[in-house]
Structures are given as structure tokens and as C-alpha cells.
A = this chain, B = another copy of it.
Amino acid sequence: MELAHKVSNCKDCIYRSWAFKNLSAEELKVINVKKTEKFYRKGENICLEGDEISSFMYLQTGLVKLFKTELNSKEHIISIAKPKDFIGLLSIFSNTKQIYSITAIEDSIVCFVNLEIIKKFIKTNGIFAIDFFEKISAVSDSVIKTRIDINTRQLRGRIAYILLFFSKHIYGSSKFNLPISRKEVAELIDMSTENVIRVLSEFRKDNLIQIEGKNIEVLDIKRLEKIYELG
């Protein structure tokens, strides 16, 4: 069942003040006409490895995961995007096909802006080009930094990272509903599902967190940060 939602106008969009802030009213109008908004239920695919790339995608509401299916058909999650994030990686500017898949992990609304229009504005609006480039660069570098931060740590440090990531970065609250399964956490931080569960239990017994299924509350953020910092 498709849920209807009010299609927003670009000039009122939260994203405008970010990557699109240097577009003129005229340019925004062009985007407004050509853009598409689409609603995805939790679990639905937004795009798959190999799909043609024709849009710049950003997330209006919800949460999505960017992932790759390995040869052994295991999935590896590369990053999680939150509202106002550009979804995907820079390859949309250097590839014609998606090299990763994207799936909603919460009900989400994704906005698709034709890539040719973005490219046209990069060509014709220098101020927009520079600003857009800076913003997009930051996103890309943050993915690299995250991958390094995770992989230079061991299990406890990685789980601490995930807890801090969701509580601080995604939800801004010490209490939150983990939107992904333990298996997906494992796919995100390169460890086995059992060990994700085990370390979470360990943290619970240690009064670092409280767990009731997907409901998690961070009880001792200072100590959790220390565990993260020490690796």
C-alpha cells in the first residue's frame, strides 16, 4: 500500500539551505518542476547495484542504508544516511551505474533531482558549483573517516561507535530505537552477529546501556566514549 504524502516545494525544502543554497529562485523553480519525490516503506529497495544513475538523491525523512552484496552473498553496509543527507557516493558523478544498493531501514521519503540539471547548474553557476563541491566532499570524506575509525578498533570499540553514532549523530538522544537488526549492525562494522549480541549484553551487564529489544538507552556516555577512544 502506497502512502500519499504532501509533495514539498523546493523553495521550502530543508535541503535548500544546505547544498542548494546558492541557486537562484529561477534555478530552484527548474529543479522543483523536474524533481520526483518517492515514499519507501522500511525494507524497500531504493536502487540496486547495476542500476542506471540518472538522479542526485537526497533523503527528506527516514533512514536508508548503502550496501554491497559480496560474492558469498553476504551484505556489507557502507554507510547510513539520515534526513538531509545526500544518499550514495560520489560515483554518481564518475559512473553511469550504481556500484552499491540502497534500501530504506525506516519509512523514508527520497527526493530525486535529475543529475543533468545539477551538472548544468555546476557549469553555469560558479558559486553554486564551489559550495556544492565543498558539501559533497565533506560527505565523501566522512565515509572514509568512519570506515577507518571502525576498522582500526576491535569489537567493543566498534559497538561503542555504533551506540554513539545512533544516539548522538542520528537521533540526538540517549534513548532510541535501533532501526537495524543485530545482523545489520554486524554487516556495518564487520563482525559476526553473535558477537554484536554478546558485546551488547556485556555492555548491559556493565551498566553502560539498557536494552529492551530494539529499545536502547545509553546510561554512561562518558565511559562509552572512553571505550570508543581506546579502541
Chain A residues in the interface with B (C-beta under 8 A):
68, 70-72, 76, 78, 89-95, 99, 119, 122-124, 126-127, 129-130, 133-135, 137-138, 140-141, 143-145, 147-148, 151-152, 190, 229-231
Contact = CB atoms under 8 A, between A and B. Distances in A.
28 contacts: A70-B231, A71-B231, A78-B144, A78-B148, A89-B141, A89-B144, A90-B137, A90-B138, A91-B141, A93-B137, A94-B135, A94-B137, A94-B138, A95-B141, A99-B141, A122-B129, A122-B133, A123-B126, A123-B130, A124-B126, A126-B129, A129-B133, A133-B133, A140-B141, A140-B144, A151-B151, A151-B190, A152-B190
Q: Is the interface of A mostly helix, strand, loop or mixed?
A: helix
Nearest to A92: B137
A42 to B, nearest CB: 25
A99 B137 CA distance: 13
A82 B121 CA distance: 33
Contacts of A68: 148
Contacts of A91: 137-138, 141
Contacts of A93: 133-134, 137
Given A89-B140, A94-B141, A124-B126, 18 more contacts: A68-B148, A71-B231, A76-B148, A78-B148, A89-B144, A91-B137, A91-B138, A92-B137, A93-B134, A93-B137, A122-B129, A122-B130, A123-B130, A140-B140, A144-B147, A147-B147, A147-B151, A151-B151
Given A91-B138, A134-B94, A152-B70, A144 B143 contact: yes
